[in-house]
Amino acid sequence: MPAHLQVTVAAIATPAGRGGIGIIRLSGAEALPIAMQLTCRKAAFSPRTAYLCRWLDADGHCIDEGIVLYFAAPASYTGEDVVELQGHGSQILLQALLERCFALGCVPAAAGEFTRRAVLHGRMDLSQAEGVIACIDAATQRAAKQAQRHLAGEFGDVITRLMDRLMAITAHAEACLDFPEEEIPPLFLDELQQNIHTNLLLPLAAMLCAADFGERLFNGATAVIVGAPNVGKSSLLNVLSGRDRAIVNAQAGTTRDVLEVDFEIHGIPVRLLDTAGLRSSNDAVEQEGVSRAYAQALLADVVLFVADASRADTWTLPEGLSSADIYVINKTDAASDDCLYPDGFLPISVRNRQGIEHLMDAIATRLGDGVCSDEAPLITRARHRDAIKRGRESLQVAVTLLADEATLDLATLQLRCAHAALAEIVGRGDIEHILDRVFSEFCVGK
């Protein structure tokens, strides 16, 4: 057993700040004895039974009063004996109680320590552990549902099934190496290649295709509105976000800096940016605003180019902007009936709220919505994407090597490399360095 698992850890498990309830969590072999010392109780607590207790300091004075819950190993969150002390939410009381736990033998828990122990004791795989932090960080209902799928083990199950298929293929290939005197059937290697393509490469390609969208569900996306002055960019930001955030005025050049607002489109967290009107100016402040607009357009996930239906001079991209993702023509309510808009522009009227829903659908589609079913677990972390890409690359090399019986041994090595890459996702093999990276993102107490 690793040395750090031989100690009992403790931490405050609820957020800092004023609240009705505060929780301290203990995990390890000494969790129950320490809880009994805290309460001066002689009889052991029964598992999964709530006890109202007073917690005492070294002099027998009451620190606080609350509920004690004991979860016996291995049927606990961490797989070890776990005790939760549920008291009042005062940070002063919680800290005093925590210090008393340390005095009785606990050590401070590191970030993500409890979930890390759950992984090491087989209570969950590494992808489920990442589902825990995803549940905590989910900013929309759609992201929360996807996080729950990871926490329930659905994503890990998909990866495990792919690993099982890969091991079966590897076993067939290695059987040929183990018995070199046996002649390999002419179609055997072709069948292995087809098996890898159909049962491994195609599913992995589909997962990678949806990876951008899955990561955006949790990390969010950026959309920037650009265009000439007075085409309705600030009005559009206000309408899309549902807030009167930007100043709207008939005077050109009202917006001089980048204005940001957070909202969601189809369950995707989006940071929407309004920018200065793109034009030449002798005003140094406005010039800086235009420069920042171009800079944001280079970095954004979606660039909305907005034009004015009644002003043909706004329909063309300025020289500093090579392209846009969505072309929008606003103020269609004020344009003449015979006005012919450029092809590819989405007509809207911010004033009359016409076409706004279609625009939001277009933004969501551009961000990847619809590439896969919401019922399927998605890649939601860059670590998963990287491991799957490495696994796929090894499989592609293996397919090439399987074309020649003379390179069968090299092909099996690539199959093993692919399996090791996928195993990293669920936390199998030598993963200590991966654990350090994953749990550095956790808060203390989880």
Contact 445, 132 (CB under 8 A): no
The proportion of the chain whose per-residue pLDDT surpasses 70, expressed as a percent, equals 86
Asked, for residue 373, whether it belongs to a domain, the answer is: no
Asked, for residue 433, whether it belongs to a domain, the answer is: no
The band of 400, judged by pLDDT with boundaries at 50, 70 and 90, is very high
Asked, for residue 323, whether it belongs to a domain, the answer is: yes
Question: Which CATH number goes with the domain that contains 78?
Answer: 3.30.1360.120
133-to-137, 212, 302 alpha-carbon distances in Å: 6, 19, 27
Q: How far apart are CA 23 and CA 10, in angstroms?
A: 11
- Top mean-pLDDT range of 66-75, 238-247, 352-361, 400-409: 66-75
pLDDT at 180: 58
Q: Which of 120, 101, 89 is nearest to 6 (CA)?
A: 120
More confident residue, 272 or 252: 272
Domain count, the chain: 3
DSSP letter assigned to residue 257? S
| Token pair belonging to 156 | 């890990």
Asked, for residue 439, whether it belongs to a domain, the answer is: no
- pLDDT above 60 (res 250): no
Q: Which of 64, 96, 125 is the last residue of a domain?
A: 125
pLDDT at 374: 66
| Token pair belonging to 232 | 């309705």
More confident residue, 372 or 148: 148
pLDDT tens sequence across 156-172: 999 999 999 999 999 88
What is the Rg, in whole angstroms, of the alpha carbon atoms belonging to the chain?
A: 29
- pLDDT above 90 (res 80): yes
46-50, 104-108, 379-383: which range is least confident on average? Answer: 379-383
Do 354 and 251 share a structural domain? yes
Place of tokens 């759950």: 118
DSSP letter assigned to residue 110? P
Asked, for residue 442, whether it belongs to a domain, the answer is: no
Q: Which of 98, 125, 152 is the last residue of a domain?
A: 125
Range of the domain at 47: 3-125
Do 362 and 285 share a structural domain? yes
Q: Please classify residue 153 by burial: count the beta carbons closer than 10 Å to its beta carbon, then call 0-12 exposed, 13-18 middle and 19+ buried.
A: middle
Q: Which of 389, 380, 398 is nearest to 422 (CA)?
A: 389
Laid out side by side, the sheet with 221-227 consists of 259-265, 268-274, 221-227, 302-308, 326-330, 345-347
The proportion of the chain whose per-residue pLDDT surpasses 90, expressed as a percent, equals 46
Contact 56, 62 (CB under 8 A): yes
pLDDT tens sequence across 191-216: 899 999 999 999 999 999 888 888 88
